[in-house]
Amino acid sequence: MVYGDTNSTLAGTLIAAKMQIPLIHIEAGLRGYNRKMPEEINRIIADEFASFLFCPTNHAVENLKKKGYRIVIFLFAGM
């Protein structure tokens, strides 16, 4: 399980992907639409490799649907 968009999120995502471990991404689908921000790249990669996506808002769910994500997406109401 990885959370958010930090470099540790990216590291956990890469480890899970390389070891073929199912991954849960908490705060999935958030976008700033600025690929110059390191966090934006981390978000995109975590969402791409996650098996389960937990989105904090309906807007985040819609962001993923627009990109064609067909994996399991959940909406949750914060922590």
Domain ranges of the chain: 2-75
For the whole prediction, is pTM greater than 0.85?
yes
Mean pLDDT value across residues 43-71: 92
CATH code of 2-75, in short, is: 3.40.50.2000
Give the residue from 20, 18, 66 showing the smallest Cα distance to 55: 66
pLDDT tier for residue 77 given thresholds of 50, 70 and 90: low
pLDDT per residue as tens digits for the range 14-45: 999 999 999 999 999 999 999 999 999 999 99
